[in-house]
Structure 1
Amino acid sequence: MNRPETLLNTLMLVPLIGATDSLVAAFGLWLMFIVVVNLFGLGIGVLRPRLVSTAHLPASILLAATLCSCVEIAAQAWALQWQQHLGLYGALIALQCVVLQDTGHFQTTWPERLRLYILFGTLMIGLGLLRELIGNATLGNHLSWLPGAQPGWQAWVLSADGGLRLATLAPGGFILLGLLIAGWQALRPAPSH
């Protein structure tokens, strides 16, 4: 088992479970991830050749924290309620950037990077959609947080009784993710030995 890849996957699990209680939160955090990681990749690509090897880690930490802070401030100006809802999950993107850099992610080809971004986005948005549908029985519950949305937007209500509240909490996210992984394993053909 490759330790850096395990660390990377574990770090991606935190926002996957914590920030996907609604579709808007999941999609927003994924966009935030894409912006910060790509800006970090460009920045560290310029800085790395100019630094001694002992300065790579401090420089990458400083760059990642700076980019995350700038994006957080922009998110506060753009959609304050959404940014407050995300809490510390936006700041964890800085840690993911450092781990991605340590695992050599930015030296890979663009299709390999794009595959990771799309996979992470699909998981985030899919889990956010399912958790909102099951937990609140709504779709687009927090669209009013975004600029340009109607102020009194209440979402598309699918059931007047609400949903299974557990699905919007972190334990419900783990349970739903476990069920999705089990379903995926059941549908995949068994590997031949």
Structure 2
Amino acid sequence: MNKSANLQNSLMLVPLIGATDSLVTALGVWLMFIVVISAFDASMAALRSRLIPASRLLAGVLLAATLTSCAELAAQVWSLQWHQHSGFYAALIALQCVVLEHTGFFQSAWRERLRLCVLFGALMVGLGLLRELLGDAGLRLATLAPGGFILLGLLIAAWQAWPRPAPSH
């Protein structure tokens, strides 16, 4: 795994831990992520060839901030209560757009981009559902941010401990 993939994945960890305290918040942040990333990709695809490399970063920052602000306003109109729970994660989506553009993510194959977005969504929804179920069952720590870190650590440990068949040669 290279440094740019580490940066992309570490930025996705923040909403994965913080925005998954409930299923509704996780779905909303993931939906906002998909909408903003898709609009950013389409817009930058049209602009990329017309911009000199030095101005791409500034254009990406302005475009990401604009799209995220529009998505935040739409979320606020759609559901003020959800918007209040989503917190600052929309701003992190704008930062994620800029980082993905800078690391060349949008020049990769569309299947790889789709795979990352679906994987991120599955993790968001799965962790949100699990944390909500554990919170409803009386384990209130699961709905707090430290509980999210603990739960994600346990899930990663379980994934690594899961027996896998040995590859045949």
Instruction: Give the TM-score normalised by structure 2.
Output: 0.95
Aligned to 1:131: 131
Structure 1 unmatched ranges of 5 or more:
138-162
Identity fraction in percent: 67
Aligned to 2:2: 2
Aligned to 1:69: 69
**Structure 1 residues 191 and 86 mapped into 2: Cα distance closer, same or farther (>3 Å)?**
farther
- State whether residues 136 and 168 of structure 1, in contact with CA within 8 Å, keep that contact through their aligned partners in structure 2: no
Aligned to 1:164: 139
C-alpha RMSD of the superposition: 1.3
How many angstroms apart in 2 are the aligned matches of 1:57 and 1:114?
23
Deviation at 1:136, TM superposition (A): 2.4
How many angstroms apart in 2 are the aligned matches of 1:57 and 1:33?
20
- State whether residues 22 and 131 of structure 1, in contact with CA within 8 Å, keep that contact through their aligned partners in structure 2: yes
Q: Does 1:185 align with 2:154?
A: no
Deviations 1:31-59 (A, max 9, x none): 00000000000011111111111101000
How many angstroms apart in 1 are the aligned matches of 2:91 and 2:165?
39
How many angstroms apart in 1 are the aligned matches of 2:22 and 2:166?
35
Give the count of matched residue pairs. Answer: 167
Larger Rg: 1
Which runs of at least 4 in structure 1 moved beyond 3 Å after TM superposition? Answer: none
Query: Which protein has the bigger helix share?
Result: 2
Quick one: which of 148, 159, 163 aligns to 1:173? Answer: 148
- 1:1-193 matches, within 5 Å, as 1-137=1-137, 163-189=138-164
2:24 corresponds to which letter in structure 1? V
Instruction: Give the TM-score normalised by structure 1.
Output: 0.83
How many angstroms apart in 2 are the aligned matches of 1:15 and 1:35?
16
2:142 corresponds to which letter in structure 1? A
**RCO greater where, 1 or 2, for CA within 8 Å and sep 6 or more?**
2
Helix, strand or coil at the partner of 1:81: helix
How many angstroms apart in 2 are the aligned matches of 1:188 and 1:108?
32
How many angstroms apart in 2 are the aligned matches of 1:4 and 1:71?
26
Deviations 1:84-124 (A, max 9, x none): 11110111100000111112111112211110011000000
How many angstroms apart in 2 are the aligned matches of 1:97 and 1:188?
36
Deviation at 1:189, TM superposition (A): 2.3
